[in-house]
Chain A
């Protein structure tokens, strides 16, 4: 594993985040980012369809938003540090369009020593016409060098 960049950069991080694992399997792609937000893309794929055929299932959309949330937190904090999802709420406004990719844009609007708060939208065409709105809270595990030991000891929110 190569040395981490000085400051977390979502476009750089996406290159190794999406090589494998759950997000690699989903085929997530980097789309855009700002100081406190990250946007990712979930391409349409036949084997990701849900109950109404042709439309992306909501499960992959949750994964998209969960990942965009994490990356928005790292982008905002400027560092990559372990985090754990504590609470995530998804309100669906409408189904995604047939054969349409879905974009997930999440901003981190507040961080404290131990928590990070996010909100965002999923959309397929225009951000003004979202597929879903989300809100989430993440626990920050090991925020700086002083808490390195905690991070190393596989500190999950429950342990």
Chain B
């Protein structure tokens, strides 16, 4: 079943930050956010926390979709997240995707990446562990 991934599938925080759904890449949602006041840290640049919020939301979005597809309960509790910042986030439209590296019965390991104009050059990546049961 190929159900679309909708804005209403995003938590209040993500919607409030301005994150929206760009589309799907295979089975995983691609999320996007425009640069604006809610995002800005150092003048003209993404705040590291905003970038982290986008990465994390993309990770949850990927997991939510896979759990739904496998008709499992939507239990998702954060265990940890590690962000690597690779380049400054500029005043550009920014995208992120999460991919499930491994989904077990009790937890999931997810890799997420965010990019701007060049998808081959991510601005930040994250690895997350999420409790699923």
Residues of A near any B CB (own CB < 8 A): 20-26, 46-52, 56-60, 62-67, 82, 84-92, 95, 156-159
Main secondary structure of the interface of A (DSSP, over half): mixed
Known contacts A22-B49, A84-B85: A59-B13 contact under CB 8 Å: yes
B residues neighboring A (CB under 8 Å): 11-17, 37-42, 45, 47-50, 52-53, 56-57, 60, 76-88
Closest Cβ of chain B to A44, distance in Å, is: 12
Q: Which residues of B contact A22 (CB under 8 A)?
A: 37-41, 47, 49-50
- Separation of A62 and B80 alpha carbons in the complex (Å): 11
Contact call A85/B83, Cβ cutoff below 8 A: yes
For the complex, give the distance between the alpha carbons of A158 and B81 in Å.
Answer: 22
**Of B14, B17, B37, B79, most A-chain CB atoms within 10 Å:** B17
Given A22-B38, A89-B81, A157-B85, residue A50 in contact with residue B11 (CB < 8 A): yes
Residue of A nearest to B74 (CB): A51
Chain A CB within 10 Å — which of B40, B41, B76, B86 has the most? B41
